[in-house]
Structure formats: C-alpha cells, structure tokens
Amino acid sequence: MRHLRYFVRVAGELHFGRAAERLGICQAPLSQQIRHLEDMIGVRLFDRTTRSVSLTTAGKTFLVRAQAALANIDDGLMEVQNAIGKNTGRLVIGAMYLSGHQFLPEAVRQFLRRYPNVSIDIRIMTTEEQIEAMEQDKIHVGFVRPPRNPGGFSVVKLASEGFVAVLAEDNPLAAKPKLKLADLRDEPFLVYTSVVGVSFQNVMFQHCRRAGFNPRIVQEVSHAIAIVAMVAAGVGVGVIPAWVSQLPYTRVVYRPLPELPKVVDLAIAWPAHNPSPFIREFVSISRDVAATAMRDGGG
C-alpha cells in the first residue's frame, strides 16, 4: 500500500519534490521507493529528465489500477470503522467567506463521505478571529490568509489568485473582454479603507504608477463586496481579488487584469499541537481539492 500511495502521489504531482513534501518525507527515499516498485513489477512507470517527470504508457495504465485498489481498501476500512462507531466526533472549521465559496463545500463533502459519523460545524470568521479561536480550542482548523507570524500553528498555502476589475455593466470598458490597468486611467476608483486590504491595495497602486497614473479615489469602503455594491450603484470602478467574481451580483461585470501578480493567498491552518486524525484528514482532502481546482483553471 505504501508503494501504491507513493506512486499515486508522484503521478498526481509529476514532481518528486512536491510529492515528497505532500507525503511528509524526503525526496531521496521517495525516489528509492518508486524505483523499488518499478523493479518489483518489471516496468518503468515514469520518464524522468532533469526538468520534467511524466508517466509512461505503462505508468498511465498502472495508475488507474492503483487508484482503484487504494480506493477499495480505504472504503473497506472506513466501512468497518464506521460500523463499530470508531469514527465519531466533531470537527469545527473556521472559514472566510471566500473559502466557503471556493474549496470548503467540496472538502466537507469528501470528508463526510469518509467519516459520515463526524459532526461538522462551520463558522465564518476573519483570519484574526480564526487564529484567536484556534488558540482557545474553539475551532480545530481554519481557512485563512497566511498569518505573518504563525506561532504555534501549522500553515499550508492552498492557492494564489490575482485581481479583476469590477465595472458597471453600462460602462463602455465593459465591452472589452480583458483590460489593462491603463484602461482605467480616467475612471473614479473605489478602494479599501486604510486598515483593510492594505497589502492588496499597495500592489494595485504600484502597478498603476507603472502604467503612468495615480488612481482618482472617490470613496473608501471596508470590504471587497462593498466595492462591488458601490460599483453597481454607478459610483466608480474597483480592483478586487478574483474570488469575488464568482459571486452572483447584478449590474456589474468583471474583467481580468493579467498584468497584476497572483498575490492573494489562501491557506489552511491548524494548531501544531493537535494530533487529531480528523484534522490531518481534512487538511489532506482540502489540499487535494484546492490542487485540483487550480489545475482545472480555478486560479
């Protein structure tokens, strides 16, 4: 089983370093185990170069069988443990609104498929509120912006995304499928207040200056959703994290701003001292859900 799990992880990452990190082992023993597996079954599963890793034809065939075998074993173990009431308990999850919309529902769905007897509680909080709640053992795991000083927490980045421009649907610029910051030169800007989203806003200001202008700010608001509401009211335009564009708002359109970097990070955090298998499993599932979403074009 260990060989199969290692193989499936490398096949999913197509990178021995990343796969080793996800498995919590060093790269050298992982490579050794994959070579051992190849020796045991008598075929080469990966084509390796100094720059890339890819599955061979045999590797692609074996991957399907390995995934099915592991799934059957895991399902059998879960059924036995659930039948005797072993997998019972409670998992309290903290989440910012954005993570609730992006990865959280699918992560919870997959977790409950494995642990149907575990009670889930989701609490919507800011990053700061989640850190405090984890310190007080009020929540077990949280979807957060990576804290500058993680302290006694384990933190793993799940995804990074960029920015979009939000415009009223009758704005002439809405006719363009993609925008440059310079296109917004003459527009009135809605921005965050000085104590909210400062790092994101600094990125936007810096790139506006590179584009040859300083934004003409007409109003400051406290949240990205408030910016969208004010744009819908015809007050101005905004530059906001791309996650907001997934929410259903009327009378506005979102346009990508590819010249801005992807610096809006989402991470999952949990107390480093808590050895709960439920937490470990939920973190692992969340990482897989996020990786799949990003690979399929979600970021």
- Domains (range + CATH), the chain: 2-83 (1.10.10.10), 89-141+273-298 (3.40.190.10), 163-256 (3.40.190.10)
Q: How confident is the model at residue 193 (pLDDT cuts 50, 70, 90)?
A: confident
57-116: per-residue pLDDT in tens? 999 999 988 888 877 776 666 556 555 445 567 899 999 876 666 789 999 999 998 888
Backbone phi and psi for residue 192, each to the nearest 5 degrees, phi listed first: -75, 155
- Average pLDDT of span 251-269: 92
Number of other residues whose CB lies within 10 A of the CB of residue 172: 7
The answer to whether residues 93 and 120 touch, using CB atoms and an 8 Å cutoff, is yes
- Can you give the pLDDT at residue 212? 95
Confidence of residue 247 (pLDDT cuts 50, 70, 90): confident
pLDDT band at 261 (very low <50, low <70, confident <90, very high): very high
pLDDT tens digits along 266-294: 899 998 877 678 888 899 999 999 888 87
- Report d(CA 13, CA 20) in Å as an integer: 10
Distance from C-alpha of 141 to C-alpha of 131, rounded to nearest angstrom? 9
Indicate the DSSP class of residue 176: S
For 194-235, the pLDDT digits (tens) are 654 557 788 899 999 999 999 999 999 888 889 999 999 999
* Predicted structure pTM score: 0.62
